[in-house]
């Protein structure tokens, strides 16, 4: 373990010696200049692209290294049709016309992978078995964190995203996850955005209205 920690510390030093911060262009790409997209160019998203997005996403931190997220990449018309009964309003068209619609779900029994993901304390999952409320809170919180990492990873790799909350979770869970320990969080379309479908950016709150310096 001592050697592994020393190696990890050296990796951090190596990264910081190469880059101390993202460029302003990089920050624009992933957040400040980025936009949600709901119209798409006729360009494919390949399986290897989706794999790379996942690999970058999964590098983000979660408490106790829980990683509860499971992603279902709905690529075919047949797969996307399974979403339709749960979708609301014009979200039907948004999902059906996207190159890929990702269903981001989280596993209520994420702790079952603790021996793999938290190997220095393989019995750690017991605390979630003993405390169902904490288990549910961690699953949802970390799943939501990973959803944010997912969108940033996709943008960082050159794709556009269109997150969607306008659907009925219970209907979707009945269709896709009945009899499992998975629950849906949100949907996210992925592809190369068509700028002609973009609306003006809505206002954001000011630092003064949302933050306190204590």
CB atoms within 10 A of CB 85: 13
Predicted local confidence at residue 1, as pLDDT: 61
Is residue 157 within 8 A of residue 53, CB to CB? The reply is: yes
The pLDDT of residue 158 is 98
User: Which structural domains are found in the chain, ordered by start?
Assistant: 36-193 (3.40.109.10)
pLDDT of the residue at 4 = 85
Rounded distance, CA 135 to CA 119, Å?
A: 19
Helices (H), the chain: 2-18, 24-27, 47-57, 77-81, 91-97, 114-117, 126-130, 132-156, 169-176, 207-210
- State pLDDT tens for residues 69-103: 999 999 999 999 999 999 999 999 999 999 999 99
pLDDT tens series, the chain, 214 aa: 678 889 989 999 999 999 999 999 999 999 999 999 999 999 999 999 999 999 999 999 999 999 999 999 999 999 999 999 999 999 999 999 999 999 999 999 999 999 999 998 888 999 999 999 999 999 999 999 999 999 999 999 999 999 999 999 999 999 999 999 999 999 999 999 999 989 888 999 999 999 999 9
φ/ψ of residue 102, rounded to 5: -90, 130
């Amino acid at each position: 373990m001592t050697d592994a920690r020393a190696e990890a510390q050296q990796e951090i030093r190596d990264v910081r010696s190469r880059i101390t911060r993202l460029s302003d262009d990089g920050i624009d790409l992933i957040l400040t200049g980025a936009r949600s997209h709901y119209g798409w160019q006729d360009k494919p998203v390949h399986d290897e692209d989706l794999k790379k997005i996942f690999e970058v996403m999964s590098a983000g931190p979660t408490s106790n290294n829980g990683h509860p997220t499971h992603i279902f990449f709905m690529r075919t018309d047949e797969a996307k049709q399974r979403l339709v009964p749960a979708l609301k309003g014009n979200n039907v068209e948004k999902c059906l016309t996207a190159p890929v619609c990702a269903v981001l779900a989280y596993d209520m029994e994420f702790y079952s992978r603790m021996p793999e993901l938290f190997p220095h304390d393989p019995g750690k999952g017991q605390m979630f078995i003993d405390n169902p409320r904490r288990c549910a809170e961690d699953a949802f919180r970390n799943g939501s964190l990973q959803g944010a990492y997912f969108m940033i990873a996709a943008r960082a790799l050159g794709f556009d995203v269109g997150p969607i909350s306008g659907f009925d979770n219970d209907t979707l869970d009945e269709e896709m996850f009945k009899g499992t320990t998975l629950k849906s969080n949100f949907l996210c379309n992925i592809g190369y955005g068509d700028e002609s479908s973009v609306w003006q950016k809505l206002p954001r709150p000011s630092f003064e209205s949302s933050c306190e310096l204590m």
